[in-house]
Amino acid sequence: MNKSSQIDYFYKLSEILTGYNLVTLYGTGQGDFYFSSLKDILGNELVTDLLSEFELIDGAQISKKLTAAQWVNDELLACDKWGAVCRNIIKMWYMGNWYQMPVLWRENYVNSNKDVNKVLSSNSYIEGLVWKAMGRHPKSAKQPGWATWSFPPQST
């Protein structure tokens, strides 16, 4: 699997994990950065293995019995090895943060000195999907627009 197809599969997996379509994910401008951050923190080999697992969906379509989302839920999220990684990918997209992998996971799979709690970048905070999910703007980062203070708040 070459780097270009890895990024494509990362976006496709992220689409299922986040519930947002590819256009929205590309629109954040963070996908390539998240992909390289994931590889930097957990290592190229582990990320390649995860995306190779996910590639099975595209090729075989799991014998057409399960949707891709069902397969991700049943096979990746429920798996000891991949579940924690997939949950961190979700957190990355929504919060713009990396959360250290669980201790037992690190003991069994990858123990990297880069695997620490951190904000990935100022842009990752600003473009976090959590703001879109809440229908709000990130505080002190994106303004709602000129003179919007003059309109009453929208009811949700």
pLDDT in tens, 34-74: 999 999 999 999 999 999 988 876 655 555 566 778 888 88
Q: What is the pTM of this model?
A: 0.86
pLDDT in tens, 78-123: 999 999 999 999 999 999 999 999 999 999 999 899 999 999 998 9
Residues 6 or more apart whose Cβ sits within 8 Å of residue 66: 74
Distance CA 8, CA 79 (A): 22
| pLDDT at residue 156 tops 70 | no
pLDDT score of 55: 85
More confident residue, 138 or 21: 21
pLDDT score of 140: 77
Please check whether residue 29 is in contact with residue 129, taking contact to mean a CB–CB distance below 8 angstroms: no
Strands (DSSP E) along the chain, which ranges?
97-98, 118-119
